[in-house]
Structure 1
Amino acid sequence: MARARQERAEITRQAILDGAAAAFDQCGFEGTSLSDVVKHAGVTKGALYFHFPSKEALARTLMDEQFQVSEGVPAIENPGLQTVIDLTHQMAHGLRTDVRIRAGIRLVIEFGSFTHPDPTPYDTWIDTCRDCLTPAQERGDIHPALDVQALSTLLVGAFTGIQVTSHVRTRRDDLHTRVTDLWNFLLPTLVPPHRRSLFHPTGTLQLSPEPPTD
């Protein structure tokens, strides 16, 4: 019985997160009420408050969803520059196909830029990039004179701007193309000529098919 209750509670929690993601993705943090979340999730307000004490707690949980994209990085035996390239395409794919990631990124931009400035999500991605690019530089895949911390900061800022611009201009239909452009322009600057053919600006991962658009 206890296990069945736990399973039902988890199903409810996931429904709340899905409903909140749909609401935040459409209207942002300030434009979404808890009544909107309840409506989208199909749960009671009591159930919502059982799992999340406030709208901000719900938003913070969704903001952390983006890091599922990078959760496999610590298990990679030899992370490097291609790992970072692939991560940018994985994130692009998530933004196009996963409402939770879209909502989380929208909330990160709102919180990080305007409402309650918080650099933590950006710093986390910068650290992830640095942890991949440092061994890449040690292997000779990145010019030794480049500052890897500064490069990681640049990449996170560039991706953020690219995805926002793509969202505004094409609803992210061209996001993978724009990310590929980023790497096509950067790789000749970052990588010694004799190592350049090792890297693929379009990424090396098989991403799941995207849902059809109307």
Structure 2
Amino acid sequence: MARARQERAENTRQAILDGAAAAFDRCGFEGTSLSDVVRHAGVTKGALYFHFPSKEALARTLMEEQFQVAEGLSAPEDRGLQTVIDLTHRMAHALRTSVRVRAGVRLVIEFGSFTDPDPFSYNTWIDTCRSCLGPAQAAGDVHPALDVHDLATFIVGSFTGIQVTSHVRTGREDLHTRVTDLWSYLLSAITPAPRIPLHDPAGSSDCRSGLALPAPRPAAIG
């Protein structure tokens, strides 16, 4: 019976997070009330307050869920430049398919851009990218003169701008194409020429297969 109660409580918690994500994704933090969350989730306010003491607590939980995209990264010694490329495509896929990730990222942009900005999420992604770029530089895939922390900061900032632009212009329909463009241009600047063909801007075959992405476009001839 205790297990059944725990399962019901967890199901309610997940319903609340789904409802909050739908509301935040549509209206943002300021435009969403707890009544909106309750309506989307199909629960009572009492149930909501049992699991989350405030709207801010709900927002923080959703903001943290985006980091699940980075779960399952290869061991630190096996990470490299392709790991970062694949990670940006995994994030692009999550933004297109998961309302929780979309809501969390929208909240990050809202919380990180205006009054009392919070850099935590950006710094976490920068650290994650840096953990891959360090081994990449050691392997000769990143020019030795480059600062990998600065490069990681540039990649996170670039991806943020690309995904926002893609959202506004196409509802993120072209996001994978834009991410591929980012890496196509960037590789020539950060990677020694003989090493560029070892990396796929469209994502590794394992990444594309896992995300059910189409095969990359063939390179133009002439």
Q: Structure 2 length as normaliser, TM-score?
A: 0.92
Please give the alpha-carbon distance, in whole angstroms, between the structure 2 residues aligned to 1:116 and 1:44: 31
Please give the alpha-carbon distance, in whole angstroms, between the structure 2 residues aligned to 1:149 and 1:179: 20
Query: 1:90·1:207 contact (CA, 8 Å) conserved in 2?
Result: no
Q: CA deviation at 1:209?
A: 4.7
Q: CA deviation at 1:71?
A: 1.5
Which amino acid in 1 is paired with 2:172? R
Which consecutive residues of structure 2, in runs of 5 or more, have no partner in the other structure? 214-222
Runs of 4+ in 1 over 3 A off after TM superposition: 74-77, 207-210
Residue in 2 that maps onto 1:136: 136
Residue in 1 that maps onto 2:147: 147
Aligned residues: CA RMSD: 1.2
After superposition, where does 1:45-84 map in structure 2 within 5 Å? 45-73=45-73, 75=75, 77-84=77-84
Query: 1:76-99: CA deviations, max 9, x gaps?
Result: 650010000000000000000000
SS in 1 for 2:203: coil
Please give the alpha-carbon distance, in whole angstroms, between the structure 2 residues aligned to 1:199 and 1:174: 21
Please give the alpha-carbon distance, in whole angstroms, between the structure 1 residues aligned to 2:57 and 2:183: 36
Query: 2:76·2:132 contact (CA, 8 Å) conserved in 1?
Result: no
The answer as to 2:152 corresponding to 1:157 is no
Query: 2:90·2:211 contact (CA, 8 Å) conserved in 1?
Result: no
The percentage of counterpart residues that share the same residue type is 75
After superposition, where does 1:15-94 map in structure 2 within 5 Å? 15-73=15-73, 75=75, 77-94=77-94
Residue in 2 that maps onto 1:168: 168
Aligned length: 210
Please give the alpha-carbon distance, in whole angstroms, between the structure 2 residues aligned to 1:116 and 1:38: 27
Residue in 1 that maps onto 2:124: 124
Which consecutive residues of structure 1, in runs of 5 or more, have no partner in the other structure? none
Q: CA deviation at 1:194?
A: 1.1
Moved more, 76-85 or 173-182: 76-85
Moved more, 64-73 or 53-62: 64-73
Query: 1:180·1:202 contact (CA, 8 Å) conserved in 2?
Result: yes
Q: CA deviation at 1:75?
A: 3.6
Residue in 2 that maps onto 1:191: 191
Moved more, 198-207 or 72-81: 72-81
